[in-house]
């Protein structure tokens, strides 16, 4: 096998498919599937208003799964040469013959048809030097110093390639890029935080976001305690992005059909059904899987080979689909869905300031942190506010308040959405600012 690259740089799409073809040709199993990933990741960290670390890492992984009937096993290698790939094949084949039979085995995925589009790929990231990154971070740190706040955070970018193939004829390859910036500003007992994500660095408004974060950190000093209870809450996009995905990830068809989900319903005769088609949330809740969204432009397939195309998840507050694995789809005589991401929730043209102005009394939450299950069956979670929590009175920010712990049913939260604002990219999702009534805060916390 002759390649035009090494593991010290991103593998080309042509080379990736060549590696997969050769691996499949050398398989001695009844069936084989190959997953290949190549990435170039760069991360710069800064703390106390100075850069502290710069990391540049290239990674290659080839994973082989060999099948003998319903028995299977996997092995992987981080080497490109033919001998290493053959060794991984032999390991997986040997292990597969000792593996137990899988009662939920499904046949290998045949050749698929994907959307005719290319994921976003920023060529400029290939040549963006450590010096250029350092200059951006220096500007952020200089602003923090001038404002007498401690600034810390990260600036990162990632170039990735994914290729898949199997002995049933499946072949697919795609590449993409993403960039992110996070910034925490602290002064005395006040803090704030901001995070940006995009498929290119040029789309990140780093300096503007840093300035807002610094202002909010200063404004959040000397927070006052308020009584826990149910409040109207305005969740900024990043805060809502820590809550909404929990609901979408739990739209699992099997869990619903087996009575293990908030999407389950038990009838009087004891039979269990899912709640697909019921009006569970506010009509303002509109959610799609939309990999082609301009802010995301993600890949056309998932790691298991299923297509990643637009899928309506919630319309007018009514769940439209559940997530079906290939096994459960076969049991229910329907089609598998692939993953329920990237999540795109529809917003409006209203700004955060306009939502605040429409609120007589409420709480502005910058960040929801350390969210964890209380009850997976009802999807009640707990978590805390962090990095800038403010009381709203008479349509204006009144003063900073101490952080609060919440215990909240997330389906109930979505039922109580009364307004949505502008949406922005948050990680791999697009989420709007949301105004929610009767959100339950259970106690005050000492977290900053």
The model carries a pTM of 0.95
| Structural domains of the chain in order of their starting residue, each with its CATH number | 13-206 (3.30.2290.10), 223-448 (no CATH)
What residues pair up with 419 in beta bridges, in sequence order? Answer: 435
Q: What's the helix, strand, coil split of the chain in %, to 5?
A: 20, 40, 35
CA pair distance 231, 239, nearest whole angstrom:
16
Task: Tokens 């002995």: give the residue.
Answer: 167
Tens digits of residue pLDDT in 298-328: 999 999 999 999 999 999 999 999 999 999 9
- Given a contact cutoff of 8 angstroms between Cβ atoms, the answer to whether 242 and 214 are in contact is no
CA pair distance 374, 79, nearest whole angstrom:
43
- Given a contact cutoff of 8 angstroms between Cβ atoms, the answer to whether 207 and 140 are in contact is yes
CA pair distance 370, 405, nearest whole angstrom:
10
At residue 202's C-alpha, the angle toward residues 55 and 424, to 5°, is 100
Q: Is 53 exposed, middle or buried (0-12, 13-18, 19+ CB in 10 A)?
A: exposed
Indicate the pairing of strand 229-235 with strand 361-375: parallel
- Given a contact cutoff of 8 angstroms between Cβ atoms, the answer to whether 5 and 81 are in contact is no
> What pLDDT, on the 0 to 100 scale, is given for residue 4?
41
- Given a contact cutoff of 8 angstroms between Cβ atoms, the answer to whether 23 and 85 are in contact is yes
> What pLDDT, on the 0 to 100 scale, is given for residue 90?
98
- DSSP conformation class of 107: P
pLDDT in tens, the chain (448 residues): 434 444 457 899 999 999 999 999 999 999 999 999 999 999 999 999 999 999 999 999 999 999 999 999 999 999 989 999 999 999 999 999 999 999 999 999 999 999 999 999 998 888 888 899 999 999 999 999 999 999 999 999 999 999 999 999 999 999 999 999 999 999 999 999 999 999 999 999 999 999 999 999 999 999 999 999 999 999 999 999 999 999 999 999 999 999 999 999 999 888 999 999 999 999 999 999 999 999 999 999 999 999 999 999 999 999 999 999 999 999 999 999 999 999 999 999 999 999 999 999 999 999 999 999 999 999 999 999 999 999 999 999 999 999 999 999 999 999 999 999 999 999 999 999 999 999 999 999 987 7
> What pLDDT, on the 0 to 100 scale, is given for residue 1?
43
All residues at 6 or more sequence positions from 238 whose CB lies less than 8 Å from its CB, including other chains: 193, 194, 195, 366, 367, 426, 431
Helix axes 130-146, 206-219, angle to 10 degrees: 30
- Given a contact cutoff of 8 angstroms between Cβ atoms, the answer to whether 34 and 73 are in contact is no
Query: CA 79 → CA 96, 115, 172, 359, distances in Å?
Result: 22, 31, 21, 58
- Given a contact cutoff of 8 angstroms between Cβ atoms, the answer to whether 309 and 115 are in contact is yes
* Secondary structure E strands in 150-286: 150-166, 171-187, 190-198, 229-235, 264-266, 272-274
Query: CA 27 → CA 24, 253, 420, distances in Å?
Result: 5, 35, 53
CA pair distance 382, 447, nearest whole angstrom:
14
At residue 354's C-alpha, the angle toward residues 143 and 214, to 5°, is 15
> What pLDDT, on the 0 to 100 scale, is given for residue 8?
55
- Given a contact cutoff of 8 angstroms between Cβ atoms, the answer to whether 383 and 370 are in contact is yes
**The token pair that represents 373 in the structure block:** 């299950």
Count of CB atoms within 10 A of residue 140's CB?
A: 26
Among 31, 298, 96, which Cα is nearest to 178's? Answer: 298
**The token pair that represents 91 in the structure block:** 């390991």
Q: What is the 3-state secondary structure (H, E, C) of 67-87?
A: EECCEEEEEEECCCCHHHHHH
**The token pair that represents 24 in the structure block:** 């499949």
Distance of CA 46 to the CA centre of its chain: 24
């Amino acid at each position: 096998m002759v390649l035009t690259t090494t593991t010290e740089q991103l593998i080309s799409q042509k080379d990736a498919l060549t590696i997969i073809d050769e691996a499949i040709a050398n398989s001695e199993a009844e069936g084989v599937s190959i997953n290949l990933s190549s990435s170039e990741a760069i991360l710069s960290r800064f703390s106390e208003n100075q850069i502290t670390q710069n990391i540049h890492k290239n990674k290659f992984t080839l994973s082989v799964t060999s099948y003998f009937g319903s028995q299977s096993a996997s092995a992987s290698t981080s080497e490109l040469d033919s001998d290493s790939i053959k060794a991984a094949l032999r390991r997986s084949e040997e292990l597969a013959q000792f593996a137990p039979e899988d009662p939920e085995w499904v046949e290998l995925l045949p050749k698929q048809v994907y959307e005719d589009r290319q994921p976003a790929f920023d060529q400029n990231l290939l040549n963006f030097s450590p010096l250029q990154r350092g200059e951006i971070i220096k500007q952020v740190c200089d602003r923090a110093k001038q404002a007498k706040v401690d600034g810390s955070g990260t600036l990162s970018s990632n170039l990735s390639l994914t290729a898949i193939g199997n002995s049933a004829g499946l072949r697919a390859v795609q590449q993409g890029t993403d960039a992110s910036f996070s910034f925490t500003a602290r002064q005395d007992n006040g803090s704030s935080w901001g995070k940006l994500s995009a498929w290119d660095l040029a789309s990140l408004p780093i300096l503007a976001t840093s300035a807002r974060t610094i202002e909010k950190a200063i404004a959040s000093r000397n927070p006052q305690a308020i009584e826990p209870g149910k409040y109207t809450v305005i969740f900024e996009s990043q805060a809502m992005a820590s809550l909404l995905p929990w609901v979408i990830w739990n739209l699992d068809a099997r869990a619903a059909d087996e009575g293990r989900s908030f999407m389950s319903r038990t009838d009087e005769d004891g039979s269990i059904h899912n709640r697909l088609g019921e009006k569970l949330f506010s009509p303002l809740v509109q959610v799609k899987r939309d990999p082609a969204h301009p802010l995301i432009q993600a890949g056309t397939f998932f790691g298991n080979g299923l297509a990643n195309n637009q899928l309506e998840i919630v319309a007018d507050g009514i769940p439209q689909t559940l997530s079906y694995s290939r096994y459960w789809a076969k049991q229910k005589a329907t089609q598998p869905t692939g993953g329920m991401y990237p999540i795109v929730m529809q917003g409006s043209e209203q700004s955060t300031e306009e939502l605040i102005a429409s609120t007589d009394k409420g709480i502005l939450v910058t960040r929801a942190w350390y969210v964890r299950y209380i009850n997976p069956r009802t999807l009640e979670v707990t978590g805390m506010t962090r990095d800038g929590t403010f009381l709203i009175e008479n349509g204006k920010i009144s003063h900073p308040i101490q952080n609060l712990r919440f215990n909240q049913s997330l389906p109930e939260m979505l039922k109580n959405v009364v307004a949505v604002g502008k949406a922005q990219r948050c990680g791999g999702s697009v989420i709007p600012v949301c105004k929610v009534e009767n959100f339950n805060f259970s106690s005050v916390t000492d977290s900053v």
